[in-house]
């Protein structure tokens, strides 16, 4: 006979299954422990051997480095210095901290270059090892073109008017004095003029120039010591101006008036002069 109960689910009595228990294999457990222990020991051994190999190699490299950097086979014998004019080879070697007998491989190339490049006269420097016993130092010096004043001191300056170093009495170079108006940069006219002087295409040389002055962006002055004359040049078309200067110079020289000339202003196709004692041609 079955009974129905409202609002409740009928719960049937289902027989539970009994959990099956497997017998523990003690041999397998022990074997697993041994396998894990073996793997751990193997990993530790491999790691230790790796460290040992690295240490042996490192010590070997260190020993080899110390050996080659102390061996007389690599002692510096051939020290070659190129490009030095203003600074002597002995001074450059001293600046770089390089001397014969030093081990070539132990020389710090970057440090040698840094020390030499710190000189205000050096524009660029390159240092090269020449194994087994050589070292080459190539320098490019800054070329002085003028003397210039900065505050109360006298300096050498390059063709762009940039100061190089204070004037040294022991190594004095006779150069024209460069003057510029406040705020003016050395223009291309003066650079072109120096090029023409170097090519001997003007009637005077660098040794005759006492000073140059940048008067404006397109005009500059030259004072010559022999003959003593102040020359003002219009730099708007300097090539044509210099042609006019050559013609004027030749004309004054032909008439014997060059030594009497105190001032000349030259521009393309035209020129004005003033003689000493205020005589005018």
Same domain, 235 and 187: yes
Across the range 95-111, mean pLDDT stands at 92
As a whole number of angstroms, the distance between CA 275 and CA 259 comes to 9
What's the CATH code of the domain at 123? Answer: 3.10.20.310
Question: Residue 182 pLDDT > 50, yes or no?
Answer: yes
Alpha carbons within 13 angstroms on the beta-carbon side of residue 258 total 18
Those residues with Cβ within 8 angstroms of residue 119's Cβ, 6 or more apart along the chain or in another chain: 87, 95
169 within a domain of the structure (yes/no)? yes
Question: Residue 60 pLDDT > 70, yes or no?
Answer: no
Question: Residue 58 pLDDT > 50, yes or no?
Answer: yes
Same domain, 117 and 150: no
Residue 79: domain span: 75-141
Question: What is the reported pLDDT for 116?
Answer: 97
Same domain, 126 and 218: no
9 within a domain of the structure (yes/no)? no
DSSP letter at 75?
A: B
Give Cα 227 distance to the centre of its chain: 42
Q: In angstroms, what CA-CA distances link 190 with 145, 193, 196?
A: 11, 5, 10
Taking alpha carbons only, the member of 102, 176, 95 closest to residue 137 is 95
Same domain, 152 and 133: no
Q: In angstroms, what CA-CA distances link 189 with 72, 130, 205, 233, 264?
A: 57, 45, 16, 9, 17
Same domain, 127 and 214: no
Same domain, 273 and 162: yes
Question: Residue 13 pLDDT > 90, yes or no?
Answer: no
Average pLDDT in the chain: 83
256 within a domain of the structure (yes/no)? yes
């Amino acid at each position: 006979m079955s009974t129905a109960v409202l609002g409740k689910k009928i719960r049937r009595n289902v027989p539970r299954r009994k959990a099956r228990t497997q017998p523990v294999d003690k041999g397998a457990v022990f074997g697993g422990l041994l396998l894990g222990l073996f793997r751990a020991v193997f990993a530790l051994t491999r790691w230790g051997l790796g460290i040992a190999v690295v240490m042996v190699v490192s010590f070997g490299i260190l020993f080899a480095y110390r050996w080659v950097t102390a061996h007389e086979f690599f002692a510096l014998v051939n020290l070659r210095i190129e490009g030095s004019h203003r600074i002597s080879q002995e001074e450059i070697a001293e600046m770089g901290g390089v001397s014969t007998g030093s081990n070539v491989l132990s020389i710090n190339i970057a440090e040698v270059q840094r020390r030499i490049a710190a000189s205000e006269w050096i524009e660029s420097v390159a240092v090269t090892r020449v194994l087994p016993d050589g070292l080459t130092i190539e320098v490019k010096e800054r070329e002085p073109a003028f003397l210039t004043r900065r505050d109360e001191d006298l300096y050498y300056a390059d063709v762009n008017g940039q100061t190089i170093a204070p004037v040294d009495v022991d190594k004095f170079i006779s150069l024209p004095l460069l003057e510029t108006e406040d705020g003016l940069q050395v223009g291309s006219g003066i650079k072109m003029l120096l090029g023409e002087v170097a090519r001997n295409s003007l009637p005077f040389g660098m040794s005759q120039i006492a000073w140059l002055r940048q008067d404006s962006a397109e005009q500059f002055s030259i004072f010559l010591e022999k003959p003593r004359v102040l020359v003002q040049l219009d730099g708007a078309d300097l090539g044509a101006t210099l042609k006019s200067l050559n013609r004027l110079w030749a004309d004054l020289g032909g008439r014997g008036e060059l030594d009497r000339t105190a001032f000349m202003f030259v521009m393309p196709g035209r020129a004005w002069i003033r003689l000493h004692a205020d005589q005018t041609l």
